């Protein structure tokens, strides 16, 4: 896109723990709105924003505002406009977030455990220390076929690898993104395995 934003800088992602989904976009929203914590003398100003967005219940607005800033709930475009967010700049910050995500995916991943989908509760099994992703898939694939159960290797915030009982492998990636639908900006869900496993 060929632009720079003074308060955003290139981040070093040297280990998986350095990666934070929507990091640059969260910084942009924070820069435009200020702190999500407020003082008594700021309530009237924040109530005006809530009214612009169509909220009559101030506490509900505050609760939703936190979720919007964490990219965990669809964000009304009216709110973004009220705090001065430009959609083209937000799309640019999403590109930066996607670059960070790509850097995190390029780091060698080591699996510590996996989940066997059993009823009524899934079982967690440990893997040997420093098991590479490829080795983990190989080991868990054998287990899935042997036990005739689906298994999951989860790399929180990055991806989930589902290994079916027939040995087939499917990967779900948690790439940060947004789509604009009607009057909302809808962030992708960054799930952990519990949201997708049927018990």
Write out pLDDT tens, residues 85-123: 999 999 999 999 999 999 999 999 999 999 999 888 999
Identify which of 16, 5, 194, 37 has the alpha carbon closest to the alpha carbon of residue 101. Answer: 16
Q: Are residues 23 and 93 in the same domain?
A: yes
Is the pLDDT score of 130 beyond 90?
Answer: yes
Contact 165, 144 (CB under 8 A): yes
Number of domains making up the chain: 2
Q: With beta carbons less than 8 A apart as the criterion, state whether 107 and 20 touch.
A: no
Indicate the DSSP class of residue 143: H
Tell me: do 20 and 91 sit in the same domain: yes
The strand pairing partners of 184, in sequence order, are 76, 181
Does residue 1 fall inside a structural domain?
no
Specify if 116 maps to a domain.
yes
pLDDT-derived band at 199 (thresholds 50, 70, 90) equals very low
Q: Does residue 118 sit in the same domain as residue 166?
A: yes
Are 24 and 97 found together in one domain?
yes
- Is the per-residue pLDDT at 195 higher than 50? no
Contact between 187 and 22 under an 8 Å Cβ cutoff? The reply is yes
Q: Report the distance separating Cα 17 and Cα 188, nearest Å.
A: 20
Which domain range does residue 28 map to? 16-106
Mean pLDDT of 3-13: 66
Residues 145/159, Cβ–Cβ less than 8 Å: no
> Is 76 a residue whose pLDDT tops 50?
yes
Residue 189 confidence class, pLDDT cut points 50, 70, 90? confident
Are both 35 and 116 inside the same structural domain?
no
96 with 40, same domain? yes
Is the residue at 192 inside a domain?
no
- Indicate if 57 and 114 belong to the same structural domain: no
Among 118, 112, 120, which residue's Cα sits nearest to residue 144?
118
pLDDT of 65 above 60 = yes
Q: What is the reported pTM?
A: 0.85
pLDDT at 1: 45
pLDDT at 38 exceeding the cut of 90: no
pLDDT of residue 192: 45
Q: Are residues 85 and 31 in the same domain?
A: yes
Which of residues 97 and 192 earns the better pLDDT score?
A: 97
Domain match, 131 and 161 both: yes
Query: For residue 196, what pLDDT is reported?
Result: 34
| Residue 8 in domain | no
Q: What is the mean pLDDT of residues 182-187?
A: 96
To the nearest whole percent, how much of the chain has pLDDT over 70? 89
pLDDT at 39: 67
Q: Which of 84, 81, 78, 70 is nearest to 53 (CA)?
A: 78
Q: Among 50, 85, 106, where does a domain finish?
A: 106
| pLDDT number for residue 56 | 93
Q: Do 36 and 102 belong to one domain?
A: yes
CA distance 43 to 37: 10
In a domain, 189, yes or no: no
- CA dist 108 and 126 (Å) reads 19
Classify residue 184: in a domain, yes or no: no
In a domain, 48, yes or no: yes
Question: Do 71 and 91 share a domain, yes or no?
Answer: yes
Alpha helices in the chain (DSSP H): 23-33, 43-53, 58-69, 77-82, 87-105, 133-147
Residues 93 and 164 in one domain: no
Last residue of a domain, one of 52, 87, 106: 106
Q: Mean pLDDT throughout 143-168?
A: 96
**C-alpha span between 48 and 71 (Å, rounded):** 22
Q: What is the mean pLDDT of the chain?
A: 89
Instruction: Look at residue 144 and tell me if it is in a domain.
Output: yes
């Amino acid at each position: 896109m060929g632009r720079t934003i003074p308060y955003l800088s290139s981040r070093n992602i040297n280990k998986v723990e350095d990666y934070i989904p929507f990091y640059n976009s969260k910084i942009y929203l924070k820069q435009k709105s200020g702190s999500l914590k407020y003082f008594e003398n700021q309530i009237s100003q924040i109530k005006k924003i809530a009214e612009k967005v169509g909220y009559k219940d101030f506490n509900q607005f505050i609760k939703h505002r936190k979720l919007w800033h964490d990219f965990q709930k669809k964000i009304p475009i009216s709110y973004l406009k009220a705090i001065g967010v430009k959609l083209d700049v937000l799309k640019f910050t999403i590109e930066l977030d996607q670059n960070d995500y790509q850097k995190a995916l390029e780091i060698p991943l080591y699996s510590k455990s996996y989940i066997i989908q059993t009823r009524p509760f899934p079982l967690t099994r440990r893997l040997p220390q420093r098991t590479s992703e490829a080795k983990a898939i190989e080991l868990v694939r054998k287990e899935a076929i042997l036990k005739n159960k689906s298994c999951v290797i989860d790399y929180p915030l990055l991806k989930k690898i589902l290994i079916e009982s027939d040995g087939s492998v499917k990967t779900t990636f948690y790439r940060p993104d947004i789509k604009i639908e009607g009057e909302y900006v809808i962030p992708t869900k960054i799930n952990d395995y519990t949201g997708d496993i049927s018990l």
